[in-house]
Amino acid sequence: MASWYPDIEMEETGVGARGRGNGNNTTGARGCIRTRQYTGTSYRDSGEIKFCISEYKSDAFQMMLLMKSNQMLTDVKLEVGREIFHGHKIVLAAASPYFKAMFTGGLRECEMDTVKLQGVCPTVLAHLLCFMYTGEIVINEMLVCQLLPAATMLQMNHVIDACCTFLE
């Protein structure tokens, strides 16, 4: 039965929805399964099923991190002091409104493949880039004093919140 498939969160639509789902679904071995009926009028009687793959985004970010590590498809170099960090503009822009404005706002950085960053030290940028590709950041007392202003400059609200939480 489709509705018992692990790792997939499903929304079932339509009156009969091809006979699947009885409203008594449980979670699968590894993932979350949810079945809903009538999520949209337009789907009525269509027997459509919406599959929401909960693992997909993590898998995709893991692959993007791997490609960053191997400098595959990277299209920007961030120069900080004497160090160079490679990255993907789309990932940086998705994580930071500062980078989004830099890469899409018609500034000369849009066309540049190397961007000099001021006001961030290499260690802090390494942590921030790691966050951009993993959603995880390790904070300690030494780091937080530099991380908070850098995250503020890059407008990375999740990291700002994490720093403030650390300091509370």
Contacts with a second copy by CB under 8 A lie at 1-2, 5, 7-8, 18, 46-61, 63-64, 67, 72-73, 75, 88-91, 93-95, 100, 103-104, 131-132, 135-141, 158, 161-162, 165-166, 168
Q: Minimal distance in Å, beta carbon 120 to a second copy?
A: 19
Q: Minimal distance in Å, beta carbon 161 to a second copy?
A: 7
Amino acid at the residue 131: F
Residues in contact with 67: Cβ distance below 8 Å, sequence separation at least 6, in sequence order: 73, 74, 88
Residue located via tokens 């066309």? 111
Q: Minimal distance in Å, beta carbon 22 to a second copy?
A: 15
Q: Which is nearer to a second copy, 81 or 113 (CB)?
A: 113
CB of 32 within 8 A of CB of 23?
A: no
Q: Minimal distance in Å, beta carbon 124 to a second copy?
A: 15
Neighbours of 95 (CB within 10 A): 22
Neighbours of 65 (CB within 10 A): 16
Q: Which is nearer to a second copy, 52 or 81 (CB)?
A: 52
Amino acid at the residue 57: K
Cα 96 to Cα 148: distance, rounded to the nearest angstrom = 14
Q: Which is nearer to a second copy, 46 or 152 (CB)?
A: 46
Cα 121 to Cα 168: distance, rounded to the nearest angstrom = 24
Q: Which is nearer to a second copy, 27 or 54 (CB)?
A: 54
Cα 33 to Cα 26: distance, rounded to the nearest angstrom = 7
Q: Minimal distance in Å, beta carbon 131 to a second copy?
A: 8
Q: Which is nearer to a second copy, 81 or 158 (CB)?
A: 158
